[in-house]
Each structure stands twice: as structure tokens, then as C-alpha cells.
Amino acid sequence: MAYAVEAMQSAMSGPVKPPAHIHLRDEDWPFWNAIISARAASTWNDADLAHAANLARCQADIDRIVAEISVEGDIVVNAKGTPVVNPKHSLMETLSRRAVALSRVVHVHAEATKGRSRDAGDKLKGEQGARDSAPEDSLIPGLRMVKP
């Protein structure tokens, strides 16, 4: 019963905001919202929120760099005129490793939010079984495509 009351209070208080001393850029907010919603509001403390903000900024930077690489290409020409691997790949790798580490620190990685990976096979089998057993004209969206 206490969990239900706590959950209702958290839901009514709105989304968790970063502490006053934490600055988020406009592009960080979608990532912040996704990160914060991965845990119950009452489980966040200021130290976790600071790490969550770093993770949000990191993910926004990865998103930006991926877009830049898409435009520039994987191979660029350096100042000497030599084709080289785009150096942004190295930066993206560093940021990706940081994002994984921060996800573990704030406990929003897949195992923390969805369960152990060894249990995923059973979940997948159940989902595939439900999908495969749905009739051709299933009214449940996504279970089976209706042939035109």
C-alpha cells in the first residue's frame, strides 16, 4: 500500500527536474526525460541526478556527432590531402563508452530496467508464439499483418 501511495504522489508531482546547479541544453531534454522515466521518481537523489544529466548530455552529443558523420562520411581528407577515418568516430566511441558507464552508475541499463538477459529468451519465445498463433485477420495491431 505504501508503494501505491508513493507512486501516486510521484506521478502527481510531475517529472523529476535536475537540481538547480545542473544545466541542461535544449537538445539534452529528450534524453533526460527518457533516463529519468526509467526509474521511480522517489529513487533519485541529487548525486544520481547529476550523473543522469551527464548521461543526457553525452547521449545528445552522440546524436549530434552521428548526424555530422552522416553528412561528412566515414572517410575525410586531412590537411595534407590524405584520406583518413573521420576523427569524429573516435569521439563517438569515447562518448558511447561513457554513456554505457553512466547508465550503469545511475542504474538505467537494460538489466536494471527490463531484467536479466538470460530471461529475455523466454520473453521473446512467448511474444513470437503469440504473434505466430494470431489469426490472419487479427484485430490486435502488430500481431500479424493482414494481406491486402
More confident residue, 121 or 73: 73
pLDDT digits (tens, 9 = 90+) for 67-118: 999 999 999 999 999 999 999 999 999 999 999 999 999 999 766 556 665 6
Confidence label for 146 from pLDDT (cuts 50, 70 and 90): very low
Cβ atoms of 43 and 11 within 8 Å: the answer is: no
More confident residue, 133 or 28: 28
pLDDT for the residue numbered 144:
56
Q: Write out the E strands in the chain.
A: 75-77, 83-85
Q: Is residue 143 pLDDT above 60, yes or no?
A: no
pLDDT for the residue numbered 11:
54
Average of per-residue pLDDT values in the chain? 83
Q: Return d(Cα 40, Cα 93) in angstroms, integer.
A: 30
Q: Is residue 66 pLDDT above 60, yes or no?
A: yes
Give the residue-averaged pLDDT of 126-133: 66
Q: Return d(Cα 106, Cα 56) in angstroms, integer.
A: 11
C-alpha cell at 145: 499483418
Of 61, 71, 53, 70, the residue nearest 93 (C-alpha) = 61
What is the number of alpha carbons within 13 Å of residue 28 lying toward its C-beta?
A: 15
